[in-house]
Amino acid sequence: MTVASPASLYSDLDVEWTLDAPLAPHTWYGVGGRADVLIRPRSLEALTTLVRRCRRDDVPLRVLGSGANLLVDDEGVDGVVVKLDMPFFKAVEWNVDGRVERLRAFGGAAMEQLVQQCARRGVRGLEQMSGIPASVGGAIRMNAGGKFGAIGDAVDAVAVLGLDGEVRVYPREEIHFGYRHTSIPHGIIVWASFRVAEDDPIACRERVLEIFAYKKSTQPMGAASAGCMFRNPTMPDGKVESAGRLIDLAGMKGTRVGAAIVSPRHGNFLAFDKEWNIGTDEGSAGASSVASRTDDMRRLVEMVQDAVRAKFGVELETEVVFWRRGERP
């Protein structure tokens, strides 16, 4: 598929589309190329039909969440990119089935807003996601979380639109939630229900603020990054070690490749220096233009992996997802 391709995949559907769409504004890194077409469905029916047609015509289809865990290649991506940010896919339904023990959020709902809504309503169960930027669907797909727990701790059921265009609901008992991993089959997460409980709204807000304050004090949250770049690895002795600590001990904090830099504050945060410009004395040998910043980050990732491998004999796997033109999603 190219930008000039006929719009037969989507022109008759209830969607909004943008050809040759810039993806950088949709990611936390704020860099990267364009999508052949960015499609925003208004309904589940439109999304289902689009998925079936993409499969029929062998067109690559990617789902763009909040962009908090994504680095798009400078050359962009081919095929279709779907963004679930229309009202239908951002809905949150409280007290599903009339019980306070359940709520349902659709895949495009913002995790940060959902956590705040829960706190205001005195609903406990998702506060561990405080300070973690993600869409609900993206957070569930990778079982996002941190020191205080993961989203899988609260999941009750997940509805997934498969590549065959069928929606299947998977109860919690059929899903394995591991470290930054779930057993949910490939497809688009349409909605998830969560097990929650009533609590004092003041206590809920205080817990959310406590967790957020901890994250703010330990992570460079204002940096142009996508959060932690690497998963915490399992060491030869079987212990899970902090990737940030290994990067620090390998002497990589502050290491720079063009516009990309390992945060001096937290080794597992690889960020872009917005002030980095061609022509500076420091960068004259390897400074980069905006158009090549993703290459800088890719090279820096490899350098960090090489350094940790050489010192500790372990492989660091990226938590951030890389999109490249020509690669199947």
Residues with a catalytic annotation lie at: 180, 228, 319
Tokens standing for 143? 């079982």
Q: Please, what's the b/e burial string for 205-230 (b: 16 or more CB within 10 A of its CB; e: otherwise)? A: bebbeebbeebeeebebebbbbbbbb
CB atoms under 10 Å from CB of 309, counted, come to: 14
Distances (CA, A) of 147 to 60, 131, 151, 215, 232: 35, 12, 12, 9, 12
Contact 66, 318 (CB under 8 A): no
Pairwise CA distance, residues 55 & 68, whole Å: 27
Phi, psi of 117 (to 5 degrees): -65, -40
Distances (CA, A) of 252 to 204, 297, 298, 303: 38, 14, 15, 9
**Alpha helices per DSSP H over 166-258:** 201-218, 243-249
Q: In the β-sheet with 15-22, what is the strand arrangement from edge to edge?
A: 15-22, 34-41, 77-83, 61-64
- How many helices (H) and strands (E) are present in the chain, helices listed first? 6, 20
- Read off the amino acid at residue 283: G
Nearest Cα to 130, choosing from 182, 205, 18? Answer: 205
Would strands 102-106 and 270-272 be described as parallel, antiparallel, or unpaired? unpaired
Pairwise CA distance, residues 108 & 40, whole Å: 11
